[in-house]
Amino acid sequence: MNLLIIGPQGCGKGTQAKRLSLKYGIPHISTGDIFRENIKQKTELGKLAEDIINQGKLVPDDITFGIIKKRLLEDDCKNGYILDGFPRNIEQADMLEGFLETEFAINISTKDKEAINRIAGRRTCINGHVYHVTLNPPKKMGVCDVCQKPLFQRDDDKPETIRKRLKVYHEKTKPLIEHYTNLGKIIDINGEQPIEKVFKDIVKKLER
Ligand code: ADP
Ligand code: ADP
Protein backbone atom coordinates (compact mmCIF):
# COMPACT_ATOMS: atom_id res chain seq x y z
CA MET A 1 0.00 0.00 0.00
CA ASN A 2 1.97 2.99 -1.27
CA LEU A 3 -0.12 5.99 -0.24
CA LEU A 4 0.25 9.72 -0.17
CA ILE A 5 -1.94 12.39 1.32
CA ILE A 6 -2.46 15.86 -0.18
CA GLY A 7 -4.34 18.90 1.11
CA PRO A 8 -3.86 22.40 2.45
CA GLN A 9 -2.17 23.10 5.75
CA GLY A 10 -4.55 22.15 8.54
CA CYS A 11 -6.78 19.83 6.47
CA GLY A 12 -5.79 16.94 8.77
CA LYS A 13 -3.07 15.15 6.79
CA GLY A 14 -1.00 14.34 9.85
CA THR A 15 -4.05 13.40 11.93
CA GLN A 16 -5.36 10.97 9.29
CA ALA A 17 -1.93 9.63 8.28
CA LYS A 18 -1.26 8.58 11.90
CA ARG A 19 -4.54 6.66 11.98
CA LEU A 20 -3.93 4.99 8.63
CA SER A 21 -0.44 4.03 9.78
CA LEU A 22 -1.89 2.27 12.84
CA LYS A 23 -4.71 0.56 10.93
CA TYR A 24 -2.59 -0.78 8.09
CA GLY A 25 0.75 -1.23 9.90
CA ILE A 26 2.62 0.99 7.46
CA PRO A 27 4.94 3.84 8.47
CA HIS A 28 3.73 7.45 8.45
CA ILE A 29 6.43 9.52 6.79
CA SER A 30 6.07 13.26 7.27
CA THR A 31 8.72 15.50 5.70
CA GLY A 32 7.66 18.30 8.08
CA ASP A 33 8.27 16.00 11.09
CA ILE A 34 11.66 14.96 9.68
CA PHE A 35 12.68 18.61 9.23
CA ARG A 36 11.44 19.55 12.71
CA GLU A 37 13.37 16.65 14.28
CA ASN A 38 16.53 17.81 12.47
CA ILE A 39 15.99 21.38 13.68
CA LYS A 40 15.59 20.07 17.24
CA GLN A 41 18.80 18.01 16.95
CA LYS A 42 20.61 20.98 15.32
CA THR A 43 21.89 18.85 12.41
CA GLU A 44 23.27 20.41 9.21
CA LEU A 45 19.93 19.71 7.51
CA GLY A 46 18.10 21.34 10.43
CA LYS A 47 20.25 24.47 10.22
CA LEU A 48 19.58 24.73 6.50
CA ALA A 49 15.83 24.10 6.75
CA GLU A 50 14.98 26.25 9.79
CA ASP A 51 14.93 29.69 8.16
CA ILE A 52 13.19 28.42 5.04
CA ILE A 53 10.45 26.76 7.11
CA ASN A 54 9.93 29.79 9.34
CA GLN A 55 9.50 31.94 6.23
CA GLY A 56 6.80 29.54 5.01
CA LYS A 57 8.79 28.60 1.89
CA LEU A 58 9.60 25.14 0.52
CA VAL A 59 12.93 23.44 1.19
CA PRO A 60 14.71 22.76 -2.17
CA ASP A 61 13.42 19.68 -4.05
CA ASP A 62 16.74 17.82 -4.32
CA ILE A 63 17.34 18.03 -0.58
CA THR A 64 13.79 16.96 0.26
CA PHE A 65 13.76 14.11 -2.24
CA GLY A 66 17.13 12.89 -0.95
CA ILE A 67 15.60 12.53 2.51
CA ILE A 68 12.48 10.76 1.23
CA LYS A 69 14.43 8.35 -0.95
CA LYS A 70 16.64 7.30 1.94
CA ARG A 71 13.62 6.85 4.21
CA LEU A 72 11.66 4.80 1.64
CA LEU A 73 14.56 2.39 1.30
CA GLU A 74 14.30 1.45 4.98
CA ASP A 75 13.01 -2.00 5.81
CA ASP A 76 9.70 -0.95 7.36
CA CYS A 77 8.54 0.52 4.01
CA LYS A 78 8.59 -2.78 2.14
CA ASN A 79 4.82 -3.40 2.56
CA GLY A 80 3.90 0.22 1.95
CA TYR A 81 3.94 3.65 3.52
CA ILE A 82 1.94 6.79 3.84
CA LEU A 83 3.61 10.01 2.74
CA ASP A 84 2.44 13.23 4.41
CA GLY A 85 3.79 16.51 3.03
CA PHE A 86 5.58 14.95 0.08
CA PRO A 87 5.31 15.49 -2.86
CA ARG A 88 4.55 19.18 -2.65
CA ASN A 89 4.92 20.16 -6.28
CA ILE A 90 4.93 18.50 -9.70
CA GLU A 91 8.74 18.23 -9.76
CA GLN A 92 8.73 16.24 -6.50
CA ALA A 93 5.90 14.03 -7.80
CA ASP A 94 7.94 13.23 -10.91
CA MET A 95 10.97 12.39 -8.74
CA LEU A 96 8.83 10.09 -6.60
CA GLU A 97 7.08 8.34 -9.50
CA GLY A 98 10.47 7.69 -11.12
CA PHE A 99 11.46 5.83 -7.98
CA LEU A 100 8.36 4.04 -6.61
CA GLU A 101 4.80 3.77 -7.87
CA THR A 102 2.01 5.37 -5.85
CA GLU A 103 -1.17 3.34 -5.43
CA PHE A 104 -3.50 6.07 -4.14
CA ALA A 105 -3.22 9.81 -3.59
CA ILE A 106 -5.72 10.89 -0.92
CA ASN A 107 -6.91 14.46 -1.42
CA ILE A 108 -8.44 15.99 1.70
CA SER A 109 -10.27 19.13 0.61
CA THR A 110 -10.74 21.94 3.11
CA LYS A 111 -11.49 25.60 2.47
CA ASP A 112 -8.89 28.18 3.47
CA LYS A 113 -11.12 29.65 6.18
CA GLU A 114 -11.36 26.31 8.01
CA ALA A 115 -7.67 25.56 7.38
CA ILE A 116 -6.65 28.88 8.97
CA ASN A 117 -8.91 28.25 11.99
CA ARG A 118 -7.42 24.79 12.48
CA ILE A 119 -3.80 25.92 12.17
CA ALA A 120 -4.35 28.86 14.52
CA GLY A 121 -5.56 26.43 17.21
CA ARG A 122 -3.06 23.65 16.53
CA ARG A 123 -0.86 22.74 19.47
CA THR A 124 1.81 20.07 19.61
CA CYS A 125 4.21 18.52 22.11
CA ILE A 126 7.94 18.04 21.60
CA ASN A 127 7.25 14.49 20.36
CA GLY A 128 4.85 15.63 17.63
CA HIS A 129 1.49 14.63 19.14
CA VAL A 130 -1.06 17.06 17.71
CA TYR A 131 -4.15 18.69 19.29
CA HIS A 132 -6.46 21.62 18.65
CA VAL A 133 -7.44 23.98 21.46
CA THR A 134 -11.16 23.59 20.79
CA LEU A 135 -11.70 21.04 17.99
CA ASN A 136 -9.47 18.29 19.39
CA PRO A 137 -8.40 19.34 22.88
CA PRO A 138 -6.14 17.35 25.21
CA LYS A 139 -7.67 16.01 28.45
CA LYS A 140 -5.72 18.54 30.49
CA MET A 141 -5.22 22.04 29.01
CA GLY A 142 -1.72 22.58 27.63
CA VAL A 143 -0.47 19.06 28.41
CA CYS A 144 0.00 16.11 26.02
CA ASP A 145 -2.27 13.11 26.78
CA VAL A 146 0.38 10.66 25.57
CA CYS A 147 3.68 11.89 27.00
CA GLN A 148 2.54 14.53 29.54
CA LYS A 149 4.87 17.11 27.94
CA PRO A 150 3.77 20.75 27.57
CA LEU A 151 1.99 21.77 24.36
CA PHE A 152 3.16 24.70 22.24
CA GLN A 153 2.39 26.40 18.93
CA ARG A 154 4.74 25.72 16.01
CA ASP A 155 6.78 28.78 14.99
CA ASP A 156 5.46 28.50 11.43
CA ASP A 157 1.82 28.35 12.61
CA LYS A 158 1.70 32.10 13.29
CA PRO A 159 -0.94 33.98 11.18
CA GLU A 160 1.52 35.79 8.84
CA THR A 161 3.26 32.54 7.90
CA ILE A 162 0.00 30.59 7.54
CA ARG A 163 -1.20 32.88 4.75
CA LYS A 164 2.12 32.57 2.95
CA ARG A 165 2.05 28.77 3.24
CA LEU A 166 -1.51 28.57 1.93
CA LYS A 167 -0.47 30.68 -1.07
CA VAL A 168 2.37 28.23 -1.75
CA TYR A 169 -0.15 25.38 -1.42
CA HIS A 170 -2.47 26.90 -4.05
CA GLU A 171 0.35 27.71 -6.48
CA LYS A 172 2.58 24.67 -6.16
CA THR A 173 0.81 21.78 -4.45
CA LYS A 174 -2.79 22.00 -5.69
CA PRO A 175 -1.80 21.08 -9.30
CA LEU A 176 -0.96 17.63 -7.88
CA ILE A 177 -4.69 16.92 -7.59
CA GLU A 178 -5.10 17.12 -11.35
CA HIS A 179 -1.83 15.24 -11.85
CA TYR A 180 -2.98 12.25 -9.78
CA THR A 181 -6.54 12.47 -11.14
CA ASN A 182 -5.11 12.06 -14.65
CA LEU A 183 -3.18 9.02 -13.43
CA GLY A 184 -6.48 7.57 -12.06
CA LYS A 185 -5.08 7.46 -8.53
CA ILE A 186 -6.94 10.18 -6.67
CA ILE A 187 -9.28 9.57 -3.74
CA ASP A 188 -11.33 12.69 -2.95
CA ILE A 189 -12.36 13.23 0.66
CA ASN A 190 -14.36 16.03 2.27
CA GLY A 191 -12.05 17.24 5.06
CA GLU A 192 -14.66 19.46 6.68
CA GLN A 193 -16.19 16.70 8.78
CA PRO A 194 -15.27 15.32 12.21
CA ILE A 195 -11.93 13.48 12.40
CA GLU A 196 -13.58 10.03 12.76
CA LYS A 197 -15.88 10.57 9.77
CA VAL A 198 -12.98 11.70 7.55
CA PHE A 199 -11.11 8.55 8.57
CA LYS A 200 -14.10 6.29 7.81
CA ASP A 201 -14.51 7.87 4.37
CA ILE A 202 -10.84 7.29 3.54
CA VAL A 203 -10.92 3.64 4.63
CA LYS A 204 -14.14 3.01 2.70
CA LYS A 205 -12.64 4.35 -0.51
CA LEU A 206 -9.29 2.57 -0.02
CA GLU A 207 -11.04 -0.77 0.49
CA ARG A 208 -13.62 -0.34 -2.25
P1 ADP B 1 -2.04 18.98 8.50
O2 ADP B 1 -1.09 17.85 8.80
O3 ADP B 1 -2.83 18.77 7.25
O4 ADP B 1 -1.39 20.33 8.52
P5 ADP B 1 -3.15 18.35 11.15
O6 ADP B 1 -3.45 16.91 11.10
O7 ADP B 1 -1.97 18.79 11.92
O8 ADP B 1 -3.13 18.99 9.66
O9 ADP B 1 -4.46 19.09 11.72
C10 ADP B 1 -4.49 20.52 11.88
C11 ADP B 1 -5.26 20.89 13.15
O12 ADP B 1 -6.65 20.62 12.98
C13 ADP B 1 -4.85 20.10 14.38
O14 ADP B 1 -4.94 20.96 15.47
C15 ADP B 1 -5.86 18.95 14.45
O16 ADP B 1 -6.07 18.52 15.80
C17 ADP B 1 -7.11 19.59 13.86
N18 ADP B 1 -7.91 18.69 13.02
C19 ADP B 1 -7.49 17.74 12.16
N20 ADP B 1 -8.52 17.16 11.52
C21 ADP B 1 -9.64 17.78 11.96
C22 ADP B 1 -11.06 17.62 11.67
N23 ADP B 1 -11.50 16.73 10.77
N24 ADP B 1 -11.90 18.43 12.33
C25 ADP B 1 -11.47 19.34 13.24
N26 ADP B 1 -10.17 19.52 13.54
C27 ADP B 1 -9.26 18.75 12.92
P1 ADP C 1 1.95 21.82 6.99
O2 ADP C 1 1.32 20.67 6.31
O3 ADP C 1 1.25 22.21 8.23
O4 ADP C 1 2.27 22.95 6.07
P5 ADP C 1 4.48 20.41 7.27
O6 ADP C 1 4.74 19.92 8.63
O7 ADP C 1 4.08 19.44 6.23
O8 ADP C 1 3.40 21.55 7.46
O9 ADP C 1 5.73 21.19 6.72
C10 ADP C 1 6.35 22.24 7.43
C11 ADP C 1 7.34 22.94 6.51
O12 ADP C 1 8.40 22.01 6.12
C13 ADP C 1 6.80 23.44 5.18
O14 ADP C 1 6.18 24.71 5.28
C15 ADP C 1 8.06 23.48 4.31
O16 ADP C 1 8.87 24.61 4.61
C17 ADP C 1 8.82 22.25 4.78
N18 ADP C 1 8.46 21.07 3.95
C19 ADP C 1 7.74 19.98 4.34
N20 ADP C 1 7.61 19.10 3.33
C21 ADP C 1 8.26 19.65 2.27
C22 ADP C 1 8.46 19.23 0.92
N23 ADP C 1 7.96 18.08 0.46
N24 ADP C 1 9.19 20.05 0.11
C25 ADP C 1 9.69 21.20 0.56
N26 ADP C 1 9.52 21.67 1.81
C27 ADP C 1 8.81 20.90 2.66
Domain ranges of the chain: 2-113+171-206
CA–centroid distance, residue 13 to ligand 1 (Å): 7
Q: What is the crossing angle of helices 90-97 and 175-182, to 10°?
A: 30
Q: What is the pLDDT of residues 37-79, one digit of tens each?
A: 999 999 999 999 999 999 999 999 999 999 999 999 999 999 9
| Residue 158 in this model has a pLDDT that exceeds 90 | no
Ligand 1: residues within 6 Å at CB?
7, 9-15, 118, 121-122, 130-132, 135-136, 194-195, 198
Q: What is the pLDDT of residues 104-138, one digit of tens each?
A: 999 999 999 999 999 999 999 999 999 999 999 99
Which ligand number lies closest to the CA of residue 14?
1
| Residue 197 in this model has a pLDDT that exceeds 90 | yes
CA–centroid distance, residue 131 to ligand 1 (Å): 8
Q: CB burial class (10 A; 0-12, 13-18, 19+) of residue 24? A: middle
- pLDDT band at residue 160 using 50, 70 and 90 as cut-offs: confident
Q: What dihedral do alpha carbons 187, 190, 194, 197 form, nearest 10°?
A: -40
Instruction: Note the CATH number of domain 2-113+171-206.
Output: 3.40.50.300
| Residue 159 in this model has a pLDDT that exceeds 90 | no
Beta strands in the chain (DSSP E): 2-6, 28-30, 81-84, 104-109, 122-124, 130-132, 186-190
Say how many CA atoms lie within 13 Å of 158 toward its Cβ. 8
pLDDT at 62: 96
Q: What residue's CA is closest to ligand 2, atom 10?
A: 32
Other Cβ atoms closer than 10 A to 167: 12
CA–centroid distance, residue 208 to ligand 2 (Å): 30
Q: β-pairing, 130-132 with 122-124? A: antiparallel
pLDDT at 63: 96
Rounded to whole angstroms, the Cα distance separating 20 from 180 reads: 20
| Residue 208 in this model has a pLDDT that exceeds 90 | no
| Residue 94 in this model has a pLDDT that exceeds 90 | yes
Computed over every residue of the chain, the mean pLDDT equals 96
| Residue 31 in this model has a pLDDT that exceeds 90 | yes
More confident residue, 161 or 176: 176
CA–centroid distance, residue 53 to ligand 2 (Å): 7
Which ligand number lies closest to the CA of residue 109?
1
Q: What residue's CA is closest to ligand 2, atom 18?
A: 32
Q: What dihedral do alpha carbons 15, 20, 23, 29 form, nearest 10°?
A: -100
The amino acid at residue 165 is R
